[in-house]
Copies of this chain bind each other. A is one copy, B any other.
């Protein structure tokens, strides 16, 4: 069973719960957006995802990307689908029209990528970095560099990489050693080896644009000595850069996406932005990428849920307890396994996260649009704050749940879940990487608590809590503010305190956001009085009964931590 985007549910979240069309209507950039246009775009997107991308899910895993003498061949069908993808305008959905893009809201782009990831995580890795690379060059590159690359990245004709990690420098980019030596023509020669480069080499697109962190000769040690460079696989004159793919990694999953070791042998590159400002330029790219990874998490969880739900409504085993009450004889072959309360609960818990985190993530995408386009400074600042605090929360919580929930969905299949045939174990293997890349989930938690909340002594947090509380009844927001004050006060004497509890803290904020999302959902669902109302009510109950109790547990851990 291939993944199918559920336009109905998404439409409900976007238009009914979030009123995304009205929120965006105030932005001049999207003055001509309305709900109908957005629905139409998503309808077309759903068809592309369903017909062209989802059917390649299995072959990506079984065949995998193949390395042969420095070249990398994508799995069968991947290139053709990618060529149709960018030529159909999907890669440039939210790029500026002046660069050849469609100029649509980032929100729609995020929904598209959620679906793509759900349908085929490995394939989606290729265009997944594109938009960040485009934004990075758009904001930081010199006109001469933009002229070469911007249009090609905006449309997706060429694909892009982020070359950050080195063998000894993972979470700690300050340790990066790749050197950039000035050349006579104003460019720089790059020397060094980068690892874990997704799509460092492949045959999906005719060129690949590498964004590379490196160190100028006179650069200081640490992160402030890093500058950003850009180098294409193939130059305008058709010559190949001195960039070599040494090998691709054997991984737990995501076999269809080549993870490359890239060697730079004096490759001629352009500086992007100011010397020593490489990390700042890269962070633009990384923050957008983090929301993108959160949406991957939601998509992967939805894909696993779809499979488990289908299996649970087909497969019969044993008599469910409900049947034992009413004197009805057990059906031939037993009850449907979804009739077993433990199975229903397990599936409901996944929907609580999927449907709830969509509300939070889509609102965050809207905030990205606000931060970019809103005329009002204070609204832009509010949007920045929302994104700054909730992006790490979403990245960590959605990917943790993707992995844990995919495992729960696998469990619904019993032994069948462990074999390749049903495809759910692939989702679990693929999903595992999302907890690691774009900053491990532990780094997200530290980013949230140490770098953001502690940095302004909790002011931003209080503003966020006030904003959430204005739209929902969140009595625990006060507990959260209180425990934050306590932690910040005690952390002066105990610098290990915040990093020790950062994950618990992030989980609390995730659960508060989920609570907010479900209250907003229920407020709208009740107006409908329909089948959706009953379904939402059941899921809201599941949230209260099985998901929310983690909040008081984590809060007690935060309170007791010394």
Report which A residues bind B (CB closer than 8 A).
165, 168-172, 174-175, 195-196, 249-253, 259, 317-318, 320-322, 324-325, 333-334, 340-343, 345, 403, 407, 410-411, 414-421, 425, 428-429, 432-433, 435-437, 440-442, 445-446, 495-496, 498-500, 502-503, 545-546, 549-550, 552-553, 556-557, 560-561
From B175, B553, B561, contact of A550 by CB (8 A): B553
A–B complex contacts, Cβ < 8 Å, 19 sampled: A169-B317, A170-B414, A172-B334, A196-B415, A249-B421, A250-B419, A251-B425, A252-B429, A253-B418, A320-B496, A342-B446, A411-B440, A411-B442, A414-B436, A414-B440, A415-B437, A417-B436, A418-B432, A550-B553
- The 4 lowest CB-CB distance pairs between A and B, nearest first, are A321-B495, A341-B500, A252-B425, A553-B553
Whether B496 and A322, one on each chain, are in contact in the complex, defined by CB atoms closer than 8 angstroms, is: yes
Inside 8 A of A403's CB, which chain B residues have their CB? 407
Contact between A502 and B342 (Cβ–Cβ < 8 Å)? yes
Within the complex, the shortest CB–CB distance from A476 to chain B, in Å, comes to 15
Chain B residues contacting A557 (CB-CB under 8 Å) are 545-546, 549
| A407 cross-chain contacts in B, Cβ below 8 A | 403, 432, 435
Q: What chain B residues lie within 8 Å of A553 (beta carbons)?
A: 549-550, 552-553
Q: Contact: B318 with A171, CB < 8 Å?
A: yes
Are A333 and B171 in contact, CB atoms less than 8 angstroms apart? no
Given known contacts A252-B425, A341-B496, A418-B252, A171 and B411 CB-to-CB distance under 8 angstroms: no
A340 and B411 contact, CB distance less than 8 A: no
Q: In the bound complex, how far is the Cα of B500 from the Cα of A151, in angstroms? A: 55
* CA of A333 to CA of B322, assembled, Å: 61
Is the beta-carbon distance between A499 and B196 smaller than 8 angstroms? no
Q: Would you give the shortest CB distance from A391 to chain B, in whole angstroms?
A: 19
| Closest B residue by C-beta to A437 | B415
**What is the copy number of this chain in the assembly?**
2
Within 8 Å CB of A334, what residues of B?
A: 172, 175
A357 CB to nearest B CB, Å: 20
A411 to B333, CA, bound (A): 42
Say whether, besides A407-B403, A428-B432, A495-B322, A419 and B251 are in contact (CB < 8 Å): yes
Cα A503 to Cα B343 in complex, Å, equals 11
- Which B residues touch A416, using CB under 8 A? 170
Q: Nearest chain B CB to A334's CB is how many angstroms away?
A: 6
B429 in contact with A170 (CB, 8 Å): no
Whether A165 lies near B342 (C-beta < 8 A) is no
B446 adjacent to A418 (CB under 8 Å): no
Is there contact, CB below 8 Å, between A436 and B421? no
Report the Cα distance A34→B298, complex, angstroms. Answer: 56
B418 & A172 in contact (Cβ 8 Å cutoff): no
Assembly CA distance A138 to B305 (angstroms) = 45
Tell me the bound Cα distance from A249 to B422 in angstroms: 12
Chain B residues with Cβ below 8 Å from A320 are 496
Q: Is the beta-carbon distance between B545 and A419 smaller than 8 angstroms?
A: no
**A561-B549 in contact given A411-B436, A436-B417 (Cβ < 8 Å):** no
Pair B249/A419 contact, Cβ less than 8 Å: yes
Q: Contact at B549–A556, with CB atoms within 8 Å?
A: yes
| Inter-chain contact B171/A317, CB cutoff 8 Å | yes
Q: Which residue of B lies closest to A414 (CB)?
A: B170
CB nearest neighbor in B for A556: B549
Which of B171, B250, B419, B425 is in CB contact (< 8 Å) with A420? Answer: B250
Nearest B residue (CB) for A344: B500
Residues in B with CB closer than 8 Å to A170 are 317, 414-416
Task: Kindly identify which residue among B318, B425, B441 contacts A172, using a CB–CB cutoff of 8 Å.
Answer: B318
